[in-house]
Amino acid sequence: MEKLGMITIGQAPRTDVAPIIEKYLEGRAELVQVGVLDGMTKAYIEENLFPEEGDYVLTSRLTTGDSVVMSRKKIQPILQNKINELEQSGIRQILLLCTGVFPGLTTATSYLIEPDHIIPPTVKAMVGSRRLGVIVPLIEQKENLKPKYSPLGLDPLFSVASPYINNLDNFRQAATELKDTVDIIVLDCMGYTEEARELVAKTSGLPVVLSNAIMAKLVSEMI
């Protein structure tokens, strides 16, 4: 059976997101999960990978269910090593389970599927001239992620609700902030779930796009 490598910037396995990917794979490929933070304690991560002022900030989930924040520049070398390991094991297609921007990741022959290359143009095609709202996990990402959309002529309004904090009121508040000023909402993190999408849609009364579902559907067509 063909294998699909999936790299989370947190720890594997991602029991929250993997079922969404596997739903669309329909058994055509084995999902091989690895994580950038595998084997690390929360204390180690906070001491060694925590963002400094001006860093591009990311967040993800540990297998304990805890969330962590980290610096992109500090985790990128580890991420590249994980890509290399999957490629060396013979996996030909590798999905990065993160919607953040990682300049300069490379493979020798495997195909690296980077959501930040796919989701913004897909969203642009869906949104057209309508007003776009984007929900992100961290307040710092309201600025970090603007350059991901601006080359496409998109100037989204941002709101914040983390998929890694078990507080549904955060999603209701984020949806309420956006509902009267945008026409469609994107949940811009691979950690958001169908439950979150349904809650934001119900609260806002708007179409809501789940990033990991977009990626799962597209990747399933490649297997």
The model's confidence at residue 144, banded by pLDDT at 50, 70 and 90, is confident
| pLDDT over 90 at 48, yes or no | yes
Task: Give pLDDT tens digits for 67-88.
Answer: 999 999 999 999 999 999 999 9
pTM score, whole prediction: 0.92
Spell out where 157-207 has E strands. Answer: 157-160, 184-187
The SS3 of residue 185 is strand
Both structure tokens of 82: 């994980």
The closest of 75, 70, 68, 11 to 37, measured between CA atoms, is 11
For residue 166, what pLDDT band results from cuts at 50, 70 and 90? confident
Asked if 209 and 178 touch (Cβ cutoff 8 Å), the reply is no
Distance in angstroms (rounded) separating the CA atoms of residues 45 and 124 = 35
User: For residue 221, what pLDDT is reported?
Assistant: 87
Residue with token string 């809650």: 199
DSSP run (H or E) holding 133: strand 132-136
